[in-house]
Structure formats: C-alpha cells, structure tokens
Structure 1
Amino acid sequence: MSSNECAGFKSEYQNRVNYYWPDVNDKCKGGTLTIRHLENKTYPDYIIRRFKIHNNTTNTNRHVTIFNYTTWSYHGLADPLSLVVFHRHVIRATDNSAGRYTVVHCSAGVGRTGTYIALDALYREGEKTGIINVPMYVRRMRKDRMNMIQGDEQYKLLYLALMEAFSGPSRCLTTEKFVGAYQEQTCYANRGDVVQTSSQSIEFEELLSMRKKYTQRCYTSGRAQISANYTQSVLSVEEYMCHLSTIEGHITYYNAILLQSYLETDSLISAQYPLPDNTEDFLRLVNDFDARVVVFLCPLEDIDSTQAWFPTANHSKLNGLFVIKNTSSTQASNVRITNLNIQKQEFTKINITVVECPTWKEGKGTTDKRVLLDVIKAVKTEKSDQEGRIIVLSSDGVTRCGPFCVVYNVLEQISVDREVDIFTTTRQLQVRRPEFVSTLDEYQLCHDAVAEYLINDRVMETVTCEQKNE
C-alpha cells in the first residue's frame, strides 16, 4: 500500500497517544525506516507536517504529509466552513501526489473519520456529476465499516459542510493567476466592457447571500448596554465577543470581536472607537486581551474621546485605573506611530504601539489602496517585534476594519502558501462580524490592495531582502 497523506483530527495526539514523529529538523529511526521532520505549517484550525521517510533496506525515499485538524474535539463538532477550508487545503496539496491513498483517522476511526470521508467523496461526486445522495453513500460506508458517522449531530454537520462547499466554491488562486485575472479585469473595465467586469459583483452578491444570520438572543450583551455602542445596527455577537474582566462599578461589555488571522487563533480584534464615556473600558480591553498593537483607521484627532486618554508627546495622562505615558512618535505620509506605556494601578507596565492613519479622515468613504497597504505593512512590522494581539478600530468596529482584516489575512496567506482567496477569507471573517465588507466598494478595495502588493510592494520587498543578504 502506498500512502503519502494522512488526515487526522483534534489535539488527541497530546492526550491520547504519543507523538510518533521527531521534532522539526530532527530525525528518528524505527526498524528499517529513518523519519526526518522537514517542516510544520500552523494555521488556526489545523497543522500541516511534512516528512521524508527513508527505507534503509531499499535505499528509497518517500515524502509524507500529515494534515492534523485540531479544532474538532472528541465530544464536540467542527465548524462547517472551517472543515471545508481544511478539506480544500488537503485537496490542493494532494491532487498531484504520487501516493494512491489518503489515510484518515480519529480516535475510534468511525465518527469524525466517517464524516470527513463522506464529505470528501460526496463533494468530488457532486463536482463531477452535479448529483449526490447522502443517505446512500453513508449506507455504503457502513457496509465496509460499521458506525461510520456517529449520531445526528455529525450527520447534520455533513449536510452543513456540503452546503458550504457547494454554495461557495473555492476561489483560491496562485499569486500569479490572481495577478493575471486582476489585470484582465482591469483591462475590461478600462474598455468599458460591463459584462466581463461583473465577476466581482457576482462574487460580492454571493457573499451577501451567505452571511450568517443571528437571532436577537445572540446580541444579548450589546442590547443590554445599547448606550455603549456607536451605532445600534452593529453589535457584538455574544459567542465571539471580548468580555472584559469584572470590576465593581464597571460594565464588562465593549463592542469588540475576536477574529482569526490566517495563521493564528483569535489574534485580531475588531472594535469601535472609544466613546467619551467609555475610554477606561477601551483601556481595559487593551489590558485584558494583551493587545500590543492598536490600530486607528483615522486620525486620532477626529475622535471626540481621544483627549480623555491619549497624552501629548512626552506627557502622561490619568484615566480611571490607568496611567498612560506617550514615550515617542514617528510619522510617514500615510501612517503615524506612537509608542505608549500603560500601567494599571500597581501592575506591571505594558508597552503598546498605536498606529493611526492621518490621511483617512473620519467620514470619508473607501480609501485609496495605497493608504490601506501602508497601514497594514506598518502593523505587520510592529507585530513582528512583539507578542500580543492586534486591535483594529473604526467608528463602529466594522467599517474600514473589514477591508483591513481581509487584506491583512490574505497577505499572510501569500507569505505562507503563495495563494490568494479573498472570497473565502471574507466569508470566514463574516461568520464573526457579519457586517464586514458590506459594500462592493470595500470588496473591490480588497482586490485592489492585494493586487497592488503583488505587483509592486512584493517585488520591492524581494529586492530589499536580496540587497541585505549581499
């Protein structure tokens, strides 16, 4: 049997079995085999591990990849869209594989394993014929192995995952193909060919139709603290909300949502600007969630509450439980960076970097791609030097934050996988912030900024790196 891929589930590796592979860049021996761990790629919901296995008897090598889905717990359920994104990554990585088989396993090898195998087989069948029969395929699986797919919830998950897979097909492109498609669309637009330029509009309408719909119960905290929101039409979804620590006389609500980046779990927070009466709550958000980079997508001077908490150069300001000191500041054409240290009562000081956009005036519509890119690149530079989360703020925590988070995540995708999927990136972010990227202009801005980065900025970064290495 030739098996070059293995898809596994959950972090049961940590609790239920011993690791059977060496650390990265190390090797181990077992019988006639020598296993070398080549690399790891870690994503929010899964890990990809690559190995080279050398058979000492036949003097032959085989490359094997393990795809470990880590967010499907033993007694829980996977998020349907997350599972589909994982499955698509496996497909892309294995389509040109030399191996004949993919090994799929979980703890017992029937529940989650059966659900994943059914998703894979039915998706491929649907793509090929346009027709699938879920009950028939499950019965067929169970003839070969009893109890494949365990319980109603896993069966329901299979349907939800298939719906996600078919209703929003993958639009993942290599960076080269994305640039080619973008330039072709731009050419059609310049010629006034409306029919040929409608693909982005169609994609955007698909996104709007697939946005997750929440009930009023999902906004309990936001509705209870309605005066703490910039606008009543944008509230935090309870499941993903940043709950502040409990302090007597203070609320625990702030309109802020935890988001995944392309590479890290809950590493981004989208939040509204602090209201004049809630500046201390904003500082609590920074402190409670260990934010080290705070991004204001407008000039700070345009926000009414700034004077209540933001000190002038080389000065300090007291705000409730916090003392904030402005230690230094620098400015470029589209970005101003200020270094602050914040101390809560007698606790240790924390250093944060405030990144603001002085050219993106509050009330102004969609910004220029160059402005958005410059802000994101500045944030990435600051983040590379320190741990902690990134808080991105706009008037309602949605406008401007949406394009920022989409482009930020896609640039991570480019750096790791040399691929672009703006459509799926937006879909994933809209699960937690349904109001993200609510206009075609914002969706177009995401495409423009990513294309600008690939055509101009990435080339310059490569040249700069080569010069440093000379």
Structure 2
Amino acid sequence: YNKPEPQTTCIETLNIVTPRVRPEDCSIGLLPRNHDKNRCMDVLPLDRCLPFLISVDGESSNYINAALMDSHKQPAAFIVTQHPLPNTIADFWRLVFDYNCSSVVMLNEMDAAQLCMQYWPEKTSCCYGPIQVEFVSADIDEDIINRIFRICNMARPQDGYRIVQHLQYIGWPAYRDIPPSKRSLLKVVRRLEKWQEQYDGRDGRTVVHCLNGGGRSGTFCAICSVCEMIQQQNIIDVFHIVKTLRNNKSNMVESLEQYKFVYEVALEYLSSF
C-alpha cells in the first residue's frame, strides 16, 4: 500500500490542496430564507454539490444542508448531512426518499441541548411532512442499533415504498475525535456493504450524518471508499480519498487523528480481506 507521508504534514498539505471556499460558492445556503435550516453557518455545502429536494406546491425553498459525495467506485454514493434540526426532519426524510437512499448511517449521539432529537418512529409509523416512515424491526449488536423502516411519499403513492436501513453507531462518544474501537466501526461498514449487496445491488445511496455533517461523516465516507479501493485494486491511498472528499466539502476529515484513524481501519480491513 502507499506509505503515508510524515504525519505532521498530512493535514497541513490537505489544507493547502483543498480549494478555498468563497461565500459565492455557498450562495444558496447563505440565502436568508435558508438560515434556519443550517446548524452552523461556518461550513455550508457548496452550491455545486447540493441535492435539491423535489419541489412541493407552495414551497419557497427546496434546500437542505447536505452534499453529494463520490465514493471510490460510485458517483454521488453518499449524501453527507447534519443531524436534522426539529424544523428539518421532514426535509431529511424527503431527501432519503427523493434520492432513493437505501441506508442512513448516524454517527453522533442524541442531545436535546444541541437540538439533536430522535427523528424516527419507535415501533409505530409517523408522517414527517409528506413522507410516512413505518417501523419494521430493530436489533442491537454491541455498538450498532440496526433499524429497518418502510417509507413512502403520501403525496405520490404511485411512487411506491422504499425499504431503508438505519444504522445508529453508539460507540463514538461526543468528546472524542475518533471512536475507541476500529473493529466496531468496521462492523458498520460491513453491515452497510452486506445490505447494499442484498437489497439494492450496491447501487443505492447512503445518507451519512453526524452533528454538523463534518469530520465524523467524512472519516466514515473515507473509510468506506478506502475499503472499496482495497477490494478493487488492493491498494490504500488515504490522501487521494480524503482530498477528493474535501474538494466537495472542506471539513470532511478535520483532524490528524481522524486522518490516521482512516489508515488504521484500512489496515484492519486489509488484514481480514
């Protein structure tokens, strides 16, 4: 595999090669009507990477704070977003439905103080705007809560329903840059791979979110992409993968610790491949 460059320069180099984001690059997220849809105004999705929601009659904005991200082998394989705010939960489920997403990966803890509420039904069904989300099943495997939902757009019943896997990773404490276990995060990646293989022939998109759609989400997307690279080419090039992600969103891997963790998980994956 490609040997990493000296650790002290990795993030510095990434910062140099990551394009500088100008306000005009994020003009849609900066529109006054969209301000209350953003958790943080510091890092907004680029206009060119936005997944627009399908317009609803009478709606003034089809914006959601999210960005389309390529994996190593599939364009727009991921949609990276923030934990839904109370006023964007309906938009979140519309995103999942409109973009035919077969999985949701949740990497942050719920925290009422930060308006990180539960956005799914427990053992029932619930409508979030036009999207009906029906609970199907749930199981817990160590650090992963795996839920299955059936969703449909009540405004467009002719579109049918979708089955969505929701993987809530509870092994990543809020105060840590990286999770304590490589093995348990790798288990999330493998669950995702298995579901895509069985359910959608590996073509479905995955929504990945953390608190603000930043470092944790980018770290997870990077790990998934490096695992694909190992499968296809038997090499590890973390720098290329992270640079590609940060070209679309500058906070995708935020710290040296997260960058190193991508390598460590990749080596763990390679040893079991």
Instruction: Settle same-fold status: TM greater than 0.5.
Output: yes
- 1:72 maps to none
- 1:390 maps to 206
Which amino acid in 1 is paired with 2:77? S
Question: How far apart are 1:407 and its partner, in Å?
Answer: 0.9
Greater CA deviation, 294-303 or 336-345? 294-303
Say what the alpha-carbon RMSD is for the aligned residues.
Answer: 1.9
2:184 matches 1:371: yes
Alignment partner of 2:86: what SS?
coil
Aligned partner (choices 182, 187, 207) of residue 14 of structure 2: 207
Alignment partner of 1:400: what SS?
helix
- Find the aligned partners of 2:15 and 2:100 in 1 and give their Cα distance: 33
Q: Which runs of 4+ in 1 moved over 2 A?
A: 248-251, 298-307, 361-365, 368-372
- Find the aligned partners of 1:361 and 1:199 in 2 and give their Cα distance: 28
2:241 matches 1:425: yes
Aligned partner (choices 326, 330, 335) of residue 144 of structure 2: 335
Aligned partner (choices 43, 63, 66) of residue 234 of structure 1: 43
Alignment partner of 2:190: what SS?
helix
Deviations 1:439-465 (A, max 9, x none): 11111111111122223x32xxxxxxx
Over 3 Å counting, the alpha-carbon distance change for 1:395 and 1:301 in structure 2 is closer
Which amino acid in 1 is paired with 2:139? T
Aligned partner (choices 110, 135, 142) of residue 326 of structure 1: 135
- How many residues get paired? 262
- 2:89 maps to 279
Question: How far apart are 1:344 and its partner, in Å?
Answer: 1.1
- Find the aligned partners of 1:358 and 1:394 in 2 and give their Cα distance: 12
Question: How far apart are 1:304 and its partner, in Å?
Answer: 4.2
- Find the aligned partners of 1:384 and 1:299 in 2 and give their Cα distance: 28
2:126 matches 1:317: yes
- 1:36 maps to none
Alignment partner of 1:453: what SS?
helix
Alignment partner of 1:279: what SS?
helix
Gaps of 5+ in 2: none
2:29 matches 1:219: no
Over 3 Å counting, the alpha-carbon distance change for 1:438 and 1:298 in structure 2 is closer
Deviations 1:321-367 (A, max 9, x none): 12111111111112111000112115211111101102223454321
Identity of aligned residues (%): 23
- Find the aligned partners of 2:165 and 2:198 in 1 and give their Cα distance: 11
- Find the aligned partners of 2:7 and 2:101 in 1 and give their Cα distance: 34
- 1:408 maps to 224
Deviations 1:37-88 (A, max 9, x none): xxxxxxxxxxxxxxxxxxxxxxxxxxxxxxxxxxxxxxxxxxxxxxxxxxxx
Conservation of the 8 A alpha-carbon contact between 1:335 and 1:378: no
- 1:443 maps to 259
Which one has more relative contact order, counting CA pairs under 8 Å at least 6 apart?
A: 2
- 2:67 maps to 257
Over 3 Å counting, the alpha-carbon distance change for 1:411 and 1:336 in structure 2 is same
- Find the aligned partners of 1:283 and 1:417 in 2 and give their Cα distance: 35
- Find the aligned partners of 2:185 and 2:58 in 1 and give their Cα distance: 39
Conservation of the 8 A alpha-carbon contact between 1:411 and 1:450: yes
Conservation of the 8 A alpha-carbon contact between 2:177 and 2:257: no
Q: Which has the larger radius of gyration?
A: 1
**If the length of structure 1 is used for normalisation, what is the TM-score?**
0.53
Over 3 Å counting, the alpha-carbon distance change for 1:365 and 1:342 in structure 2 is same
Greater CA deviation, 325-334 or 249-258? 249-258
Conservation of the 8 A alpha-carbon contact between 1:279 and 1:305: no
- Find the aligned partners of 1:332 and 1:381 in 2 and give their Cα distance: 15
Conservation of the 8 A alpha-carbon contact between 2:90 and 2:128: yes
Conservation of the 8 A alpha-carbon contact between 2:173 and 2:179: no
- 2:53 maps to 244
